[in-house]
Structure 1
Amino acid sequence: MIITDTHTHLYSESFDEDRTEMMQRALNANVKRLFVPAIDSTYTAAMLQLEKDYPEHVFLMMGLHPTHVKENYKEELAHVEELLQQHKFYAVGEIGIDLYWDKSTLGMQQDAFRHQIKLAKQHQLPIVIHCREAFDEIFEILEEEKSDDLFGIFHCFTGTIEQAHQALSYNMKLGIGGVATFKNGKIDQFLKEIDLEHIVLETDAPYLAPKPFRGKRNESSYILKVVEKLSEIYTISEEKIVDITTENSKAVFGV
């Protein structure tokens, strides 16, 4: 039984003191496929080191995170382009729009999102979308860009059933993590209406730890709590949840 964490920030500073032990806990829990999203160029060296340290388990993405789209975003996008030409990556991500922290950068975020979608198509890679308080803005761009070669994952999906169906209409899978275990998470109320073939598992570690770790640092081994919750929602075995979601991840990332 191989569990896939499709979104984990293993290079985060919050793991600096015990990264080796944290990685071992994940591997001991059979979390053996770990997909690592990019944030900006300052993390590139740490990501490449992780891949070197765990070549059989760590798979990297490249992209510019929407909350890091600043005045220098065109330089950052040039870095993304350069790395995509030099190195093997498994997705362009995480990319998208975040209007929770700063609405003033919307224009730049839209430009960066469109540009990176085009890069993903050029390199025949999936995209991994970050969406916070920006479903309408994200859907507007996906509607413009939709095509057979646009596909990927709506990371940390927290929308409504209607938004879930719209996301699926753009060839996206839904990334489900700790929020599914929250009492006020809401997605657990309709998730069973979404066929499991559209779901992948994630932690977003070190963020959004599932119950009973909510409020604490998240890590990839805690994905077992998400598996447990989905088993309860879909009323099928945990093994089946793991098998289906790992196959779904293979369909997206091609590995």
Structure 2
Amino acid sequence: MSEEQKGSRWGRWLVVGVLVAAGWGIVRGGGHPAPASSGASPAATTTTGSSPDGSAPSTAPSKPSTPASTAPSKPSGRYDPADYAAPVRRYAAEAGVDPQLLMAILYNESYKPHDPELERAWQRSKPDASFGIANMHRAAFDDTKPGRPFASRRWEELPDDRDLAIQAAAWHLHDLAGQLPARPAAPLNHDELLALGYNAGAGNMLAFARGVKVGSQAQSYLDRLHDNWAKSGTAVQ
């Protein structure tokens, strides 16, 4: 979730993947990185302020063959967020957030392999790493869950339960939306600010909402959001 970890992290993911495969023989498929970005820095140039859905329509990615009755529970490595359109729609409705935004967040956060054992191996070497397909940190999960339908669940369950990861991300977006001012001073729309809040934290989101310029790292996250916007809308239709 935090972009501060993404720059050189892919190389270390490969090293961890080799160790995991050699030690346990569990990594069944390799992931592929998306363009790296890191946490928002209110420093550099401003964003254009264009809406995410202003990007050119793109064709939704093809889905791997899976049983029609159920989504894959714990596939290794590469995965298609569009396979989880049903829980995205369900939990977006539950939390009162835009399903297209929630799906776009999943696409933005799909830059690394999401094998449960690989995630745990990485977390053992880097305890502050994020978990699950929505890349949620422990503090964000624990702050979000009180009073919610998943209040009894644990952050450690996120790698094994993708529905839980989506549900927690939806409610986290709900909580971020509740912190936004009614009339932000920034040339950013509601969805862009929420995406930056998810990526960089509420403090940076509120700074951007007050008109602080978006830095290059945050802009990279927004650019990916724009790139993923059209196919996210197609996926949740």
Q: TM-score, normalised by structure 2?
A: 0.27
Which of the two has greater strand per residue? 1
Give the TM-score taking structure 1 as reference length: 0.25
